[in-house]
Structure 1
């Protein structure tokens, strides 16, 4: 079943609208309020935060950010304010998978920006482009084309078989 619908096409981007419904809104609304957990083969504390490498991952609620390397920056209160991932980046939610070369998650805006050969999948639906801005609380996404490239996608109507 298609959970997002094509909301509009712009010269440089496509916007996907999040599904409506009380259950979805409640589960998404708290994603950015969840604690942030980290894991990796190698963890290093830096003067401004932390550095992860080797099976590096950051988890928040049901969402997972995996990459070759992850850098975290601390906020004024000692928490995490921003996470930057690079190399084989995957951001996985219960309903979407986003793949790219680099990602920056800004905690205060609940948004993650993925760049470099971006692939967004939702079920069988696939959207590709150069830059994706994704709101982790609402599921809203905006895809932009890369330098000289177009946005492409394949969307399956509801009720179609594999």
Structure 2
């Protein structure tokens, strides 16, 4: 393995995906290897960029986009995903136009036409801020200035 690819592999290992997802899957995912694929890869100035059908998978969590760029600054790593962004866990799917994940605060911010699904439940807006450690989320209004959604109550009575 050449030096740039070794640096790139280390950079990926430090990146966000280990803690992305809900608390039930985080311990399993955090210990799992990180697999990545794309049509092209660039490594320039400490930034690894996956271009074209870019995908990171760790455990049961998947981050997919047209372009994924990751870099580390003073111990804080950041991953930027652009174009057809999907973040998928066993329980949720988040879709948007752009996402930024920062390891320092365990937060992913998804913007654009955001769609959050969990089972049959769907919520839409223009900006979703989700903390992967605390599982707290904030969804802000979409093109009409409002958050919209459909919630299906549990039919079993639980």
Q: TM-score, length-normalised on structure 2?
A: 0.74
Mapped pair 1:93 → 2:89: yes
Q: 1:144 is matched with which residue: 140, 145, 150?
A: 140
Q: Relative to 1, partners in 2 of residues 1:144 and 1:122: Cα closer, same or farther, differing over 3 Å?
A: same
Runs of 4+ in structure 1 over 6 Å off: none
Higher-helix-fraction structure: 2
> What is the aligned partner in structure 2 of residue 153 from structure 1?
149
In the TM superposition, what whole-angstrom CA distance separates every residue of 1:76-131 from its partner, at most 9, and x where no partner exists?
A: 46xx8111000000010110000000000112222110000100000000000010
Q: Equivalences for 1:66-85 in 2 at 5 Å?
A: 66-76=64-74, 81-85=77-81
> What is the aligned partner in structure 1 of residue 10 from structure 2?
none
Structure 1: 5+ residue stretches without partners: 1-23
Q: Which shifted more, 100-109 or 53-62?
A: 53-62
> What is the aligned partner in structure 1 of residue 106 from structure 2?
110
Q: TM-score, length-normalised on structure 1?
A: 0.73
Tell me: higher relative CO, structure 1 or 2? Use CA pairs within 8 A at least 6 residues apart. 1
Q: Which shifted more, 123-132 or 145-154?
A: 145-154
The answer on whether the counterparts of 1:56 and 1:67 sit within 8 Å (CA) in structure 2 is yes
